[in-house]
Amino acid sequence: MTYAKPVPVPDPDTRPFWEGCLQGKLLLQRCDACSGFRFPPSESCPNCGSERVSWVGSTGRGKVFSWIVVTHPVPREIYAADVPYVVALVELEEGVRMATNIVGCAPASIAAAMHVEVVFDRVSDEVALPKFRPARTHRAD
């Protein structure tokens, strides 16, 4: 069955990110000049303007910054079977945030600052989405 939900269309700035996901790697841009991590990907660094950048692997670990539970599907024909589902902003250990889904736990069990880790949901041959589940191991704060 073909995947009938919104899919990312990689562009020159984001292609390495999505290719990394397909290989099971969560890659982030780190500026070669100021060493800052950034996300979403961009050609030049918003902090210092440098275009010199390296793609480095994230630990894939982070914490829930905020989350919502979608109970009313929009569009209905796409999400009717998925509700309730959780969308979260996860703050990675590298300091950047990304939007994602929290999977592998009941929505009611999610709490602020909950430790999560990345899992890749390969929705088609071309696309793997980085989602997060409750962390099985995490470093002590």
- 58 part of the interface to other proteins, by CB under 8 A: no
For residue 8, the minimal CB distance to other proteins (Å) is 4
Q: Quote the DSSP letter at residue 32.
A: T
Site for other proteins contains 105 (CB under 8 A): no
User: Encoding tokens for residue 114?
Assistant: 């909950």
In angstroms, the CA 2 to CA 140 distance is 42
The correct pick among 33, 35, 40, 52 for binding other proteins (CB under 8 A) is 40
47 by DSSP, 3-state: which? coil
- 112 in contact with other proteins (CB under 8 A): yes
Taking contact as CB under 8 A, which single stretch among the options 29-37, 51-59, 67-75, 133-141 is the one that binds other proteins?
Answer: 67-75
Does the protein bind other proteins through residue 36 (CB under 8 A)? Answer: no
Task: Please check whether residue 69 is in contact with residue 109, taking contact to mean a CB–CB distance below 8 angstroms.
Answer: no
Residue that is written with structure tokens 């069990």 in the block: 109
Residue 90's Cβ-side half-sphere holds a number of Cα atoms within 13 Å equal to: 30
- Residues in touch with other proteins (CB under 8 A): 4-11, 14, 39-40, 46, 65-72, 74-75, 78-79, 82, 84-85, 87, 89, 97-101, 107, 112, 127, 129, 131
